[in-house]
């Protein structure tokens, strides 16, 4: 192949950058695995006598399933939860000896091939309806092996889960004839644990206690992240923290005690002076109220930074942190770019190439999410693939 003459002349003088080189990164997603480990240790302590598991669904809440799973295993975690069977297969490649549960139950066609997928990857489905119980029973009989699984009972979410009536029916039936599978966990889900004073918390606890009494020999689990903070009555045998592991706020109206795990930064591409009375970004939804200095950053909704964080003349949008100062978004967040108002920041502090923190230790993710009309969960799990990932 003939070498390009221009490339040939420049080659001795130019550093050739790879796609993973920070020098050409327009945005940087930093995942602090040390903070993840600290958070897990804190939740282990708060779980008391109960085993503390880890929920690693949705790519470990956007942090990267493999890296998070490996860190949590090294920290002592032995039981993990995913949502889908494919997530379980990914987790199994990193966690050969872990106990893995799939919260969404038997996802896929009602065929032996689907059941075999769970079996092959040793992912325990959490069965939440009679149809799933029948399917798992049929498959276990066909292979002559009582495979493990979880059982999900609905105590008030009205989402997934078997009813209280079903719990009594199964308990009575299994007294005389054990099931063809091995139930290794019974679980339910708290609907309002993020509000510690919500009356439904104690109601759901009482309902789960009644169901648990029907299966006294099977380990039980009720507490999600917020449930861990409700205290030992909610812990049972196994807690299932998710968002708190990754630094998100688990309970409302309280300071967040968890370490920051995820920080999203983006570069300033350029700055410009804009006179008073000029519209900014798509839709002309916001007009400058003064002579302004604006900075354009390399981040948009295609990167997972939500469009609902936009600003307009009618509502204030999200804020960012840059060079020791906070700055507001001005106008709409677009697919690839976001504009911030840096008028109140010294001019020499913000320039092309400056790094902006969209969320992280100085700009808590849950505060950004609240302004965008959502929760930290959505911001984390919406993170795009264009940011260069760096693991600490």
- Residues assigned a catalytic role: 57, 282
Distance CA 292, CA 282 (A): 18
Please, what sign has the CA dihedral across residues 156, 162, 163, 168? negative
54-55 β-sheet, strand order: 51-52, 238-239, 220-221, 182-187, 148-152, 123-127, 99-102, 79-82, 54-55
Distance CA 387, CA 392 (A): 15
The tally of CA atoms less than 13 A away on the side-chain side of residue 78 is 5
Find out whether 257 and 265 touch, Cβ atoms under 8 Å: no
Say which residue the tokens 């085993």 belong to.
51
Beta carbons within 8 Å of 4's beta carbon, 6+ residues apart: none
Find out whether 156 and 167 touch, Cβ atoms under 8 Å: no
CA dist list (Å): 170 to 27, 166, 174, 232: 53, 6, 6, 28
Q: Where are any strands of DSSP class E within 155-241? A: 182-187, 220-221, 238-239
Closest CA to 81 of 62, 63, 65: 65
| Segment holding 100, helix H or strand E | strand 99-102
Beta strand 292-297 pairing with 338-341: antiparallel
Distance CA 113, CA 94 (A): 23
């Amino acid at each position: 192949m003939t070498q390009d003459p221009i490339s040939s002349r420049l080659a001795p003088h130019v550093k050739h950058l790879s796609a993973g080189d920070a020098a050409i990164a327009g945005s940087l997603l930093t995942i602090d695995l040390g903070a993840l480990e600290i958070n897990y240790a804190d939740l282990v302590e708060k779980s008391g006598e109960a085993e503390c598991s880890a929920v690693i669904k949705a790519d470990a809440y956007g942090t990267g399933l493999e890296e998070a799973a490996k860190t949590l295993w090294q920290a002592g975690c032995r039981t993990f939860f995913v949502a889908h069977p494919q997530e379980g297969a990914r987790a199994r490649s990193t966690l050969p000896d872990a106990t893995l549960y799939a919260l969404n139950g038997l996802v896929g066609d009602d065929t032996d091939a689907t059941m075999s997928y769970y079996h092959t990857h040793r992912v325990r489905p959490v069965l939440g309806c009679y149809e799933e119980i029948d399917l798992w029973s049929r498959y276990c009989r066909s292979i002559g092996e009582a495979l493990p699984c979880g059982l999900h009972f609905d105590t008030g979410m009205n989402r997934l889960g078997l009813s209280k009536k079903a719990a009594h029916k199964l308990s009575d039936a299994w007294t005389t004839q054990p099931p063809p599978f091995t139930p290794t966990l019974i679980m339910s889900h708290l609907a309002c644990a993020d509000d510690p004073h919500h009356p439904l918390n104690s109601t759901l606890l009482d309902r789960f206690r009644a169901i648990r009494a029907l299966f006294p020999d099977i380990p039980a689990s009720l507490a999600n992240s917020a449930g861990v903070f409700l205290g030992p009555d909610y812990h049972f045998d196994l807690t299932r923290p998710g968002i708190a592991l990754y630094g998100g706020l688990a309970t409302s109206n309280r300071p967040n005690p968890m370490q920051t795990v995820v920080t999203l930064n983006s570069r300033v591409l350029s700055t410009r002076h804009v006179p008073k009375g000029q519209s900014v970004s798509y839709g002309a939804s916001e007009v400058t109220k003064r002579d302004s200095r604006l900075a354009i950053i390399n981040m948009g909704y295609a990167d997972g930074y939500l469009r609902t964080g936009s600003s307009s003349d009618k509502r204030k949008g999200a804020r960012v942190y840059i060079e020791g100062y906070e700055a507001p978004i001005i106008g709409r967040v677009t697919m690839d770019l976001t504009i911030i108002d840096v008028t109140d920041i010294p001019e020499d502090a913000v320039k092309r190439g400056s790094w902006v923190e969209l969320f992280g230790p100085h700009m808590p993710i849950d505060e950004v999410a609240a302004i965008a009309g959502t929760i930290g969960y959505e911001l984390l799990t919406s993170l795009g693939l264009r940011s260069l990932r760096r693991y600490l």
